[in-house]
Structure formats: C-alpha cells, structure tokens
Amino acid sequence: MTTVQAGFGRRLGDAVVERGPLCVGIDPHPALLHAWGLDETPASLERFAMTVVEALAGEVAVLKPQSAFFEAYGSRGIAVLERVVAESRRAGALVLHDAKRGDIGSTMTAYANAYLDEHSPLAADAMTVSPYLGFGSLAPALGIAEQTGRGVFVLARTSNPEGAGLQRSASPEGRSVAQSIVDAAAENNADAEPMGHVGVVAGATIRSGELDLSTLNGPILAPGLGAQGGTVQGLRAVFGPALPNVLPAAAREVLRHGPDVDELRRAARGLREDFAALLAR
C-alpha cells in the first residue's frame, strides 16, 4: 500500500482552487447512451466514457464514474472503468468512485483495497461509502484512505426522496440519523488542515438547515443539481456557512450536451462559473 504525498482534503482543495468547484458524474445510463446515438454495448460504453474523459478530465476538479453502469457490462465494463480512472488522473482530474460500498470486517477492507489501494487497477482518489451497517463498519475504508492520502464520502442525507424516511428519523435525544453520520465524520476530521479526508454526501435538494455541518471540517459532495431539481442558486440556502466546502455534483445536466466535446466543456464551465459566482457574493 503506497502513501501519497498529501492528504485528500488538501489535494481536493488544491484542485478546486486550480480548476473551480465542480464534480461531474460519468453515468453511462442507457437513456444517455441512446441520446448520444449509441447502443448498449461495451464498445458504446467505452466511446461514451472516454468522450467525457476527453472533454472534461483536463477541465474539472473531480470526475465521478458511477461504478454500477460499468459493472453492468461485466469484465469488459470494468476494463473501461480502469481506463477511465487512469486517463482521468493522468489529465489532472481527481477521480471519485461512486460505488456506495458498505460492509463489515474483511469485506469492507477488500472493497477499500479495490478502490483506494495504489496497487489496484481501480485505485482512485476517493470513493463513496454507505454507513448503514453502522458508521464503525467503515473503519477499514477510513483507515486505508487516510494511510494512502485518499478520501471517502459517507452517505448522510442523500438527494433521493426514498432516503428521507430513514435519514431524517431521530434518536430519543432528537438527533437525526443523517446528523449522527455527519458528527461521526467530523470526529475523524478533527484537527486536520486544511480539511479532513472524510467527506459526506448531502443532496442539493435537502431542506435548508436540515444538517449542522459547522464542525465537519471535510468536503461535502452535493448531488442533485439539474435533473433532480437542485439549483446552484439554492445551494447557499441549503448549506449556509459550509458552502465553501461544498463540491456540487452534476451528471445529466452536463452529459446531455454530448457527444460534442466542446458542448460538454461549455456546459461544465457554465455550472462551474455559476457556483464560483455564488461563492464570491
């Protein structure tokens, strides 16, 4: 296991300063493949994914391949995912695996090794993880991420409406499940400079003030822009003082402009500039 020079929080902060605050998902959904005039084959998957890499890996801070859409094609799909990771990182983008893995013990360790260990062909800069077997079950991933200078984004308050019932349910003390996840992440980030390696996922569509993120000291991945109803302008109301640590995430809002490389770049730049302008107010 190889240790990289700087922690994930610092590397992400540097990437955002250099390239602006935006994460673009690489989601080869069948509907998007068809919209691009492609069929549902490994060759089309590769054409779609590598077009996005060509357009955006030199432009945006973070690219976020959705692992499931690659896994659906078996070993050939995983081979495309490996290429996406390698070529995106070579072009300077950080890569966040949207894998949402969550398990216990040696199985969680194996997932973390697959996505975060430098010796794995899938090794990226960060991965999404699910804490719903207990936050403590994520210890192997958090430890490997810290050791290798990588990051994890823990699902806290997601943008899908089905998550609200569980994530907003409260303990007898009145703290929501989502807030308890944020608080556990904050404990792992204590004293980190400039911020820790344990981020949370909090949707751009959640209610204003629903989470107290003031002590997180880590990045906040905010999916839900565009197709799910979230807007750049609404992010300040949702995240308040934590806005500088927010990494807004979009997929279809950018990808629908393909397969033209210039149009993809134009769409990503527009979102990035809108968010930068919001931060400057």
Mean pLDDT within 28-41? 98
Is 220 in a helix, a strand, or coil?
strand
Say if 38 falls within a structural domain: yes
Say if 157 falls within a structural domain: yes
CB within 8 Å of 184: residues ≥ 6 apart: 131, 135, 154
Per the DSSP assignment, residues forming a β-bridge with 66 are 98
- Cα 253 → chain centroid: 16
Q: Look up the domain containing 87 and give its range.
A: 8-280
Say if 268 falls within a structural domain: yes
pTM over 0.85: yes
pLDDT at 144 over 80: yes
CATH number for 271: 3.20.20.70
100 catalytic? Reply is: yes
- Rg of the chain over CA atoms, in angstroms? 18
The answer to whether 27 and 252 have CB atoms below 8 angstroms apart is yes
Sign of CA dihedral 114, 118, 121, 126: positive
pLDDT tens for 149-170 read: 999 999 999 998 899 999 999 9
Say if 37 falls within a structural domain: yes
Say if 122 falls within a structural domain: yes
In the 8-state DSSP scheme, what is residue 135? G
Say if 1 falls within a structural domain: no
Among candidate residues 100, 168, 236, 252, the one labeled active-site is: 100
Say if 97 falls within a structural domain: yes
Say if 2 falls within a structural domain: no
In the 8-state DSSP scheme, what is residue 4? P
Domain count, the chain: 1
HSE at residue 196, side-chain half, CA atoms within 13 A, is 23
